[in-house]
Chains A and B, each alone.
Chain A
Amino acid sequence: GIQVEQSPPDLILQEGANSTLRCNFSDSVNNLQWFHQNPWGQLINLFYIPSGTKQNGRLSATTVATERYSLLYISSSQTTDSGVYFCAVDTGRRALTFGSGTRLQVQP
């Protein structure tokens, strides 16, 4: 099956810093989604981004499908951004294959 790799696995930032999270995938995908799992365990859909660039406030994402990677940018990080960020891909059957996540800790 498809492999989804995320980097870095762990990231510690000071409040106000910027960061870039990366997701590589091993095969063609129908779509790619980014999720944030907060400390209470809730999974929140940040972006549905099969290709191109999208922005939502301080967050933006870019997917280059032809090169099989996606990037999630977090600017001016806040403590509420802490949690685990997952990249997930859909290869056509709509079920998602998840990466192992990037654990982000934003310190005040």
Chain B
Amino acid sequence: DSGVTQTPKHLITATGQRVTLRCSPRSGDLSVYWYQQSLDQGLQFLIQYYNGEERAKGNILERFSAQQFPDLHSELNLSSLELGDSALYFCASSTGQGKAFFGQGTRLTVV
């Protein structure tokens, strides 16, 4: 158990819909990262939050957004979903040194 909790584990939704993925980092970690793993793009960094503030952005689509709340949990919002958004979405948190611990992921299927 990495200590990073993600919900839900699985999500099936229709094109055009909006979903919210949730992540709780390890106790004491201030940083939360979101990654997407798809068959064609591999594992890609989407966005990072540190103590409630956006810290870095990667290959995140404009239809996607995230936030980190005062209790440090984070949510990734995916809207106007397309078939190509089907993927495994991971949340990670890191130690001060940067060692990353990943949650179990949310498998999103868009039909």
- A residues in contact (CB < 8 Å) with B: 30-31, 33, 35, 41-45, 48, 86, 88, 90, 93-98, 100-101
Contact = CB atoms under 8 A, between A and B. Distances in A.
B98 A41 contact: no
Classify the secondary structure of A's interface with B: strand
Interface in B61-76: none
Most buried by B among A35, A43, A48, A101: A43
B94 interface: yes
Interface string B78-109: 00000000001010101001111110110100
A94 B31 contact: yes
B98 A101 contact: no
Nearest to A92: B98
B104 A42 contact: yes
B2 interface: yes
A71 to B, nearest CB: 19
B105 A90 contact: no
Interface string B39-63: 0001111001000000110100000
A105 to B, nearest CB: 18
Contacts of B105: 41-43
A89 to B, nearest CB: 11
Nearest to B104: A42
A97 to B, nearest CB: 7
Given A42-B105, A98-B42, A30 B98 contact: yes
Nearest to B99: A48
B56 A93 contact: yes
Contact of A45 (B56, B90, B100): B100
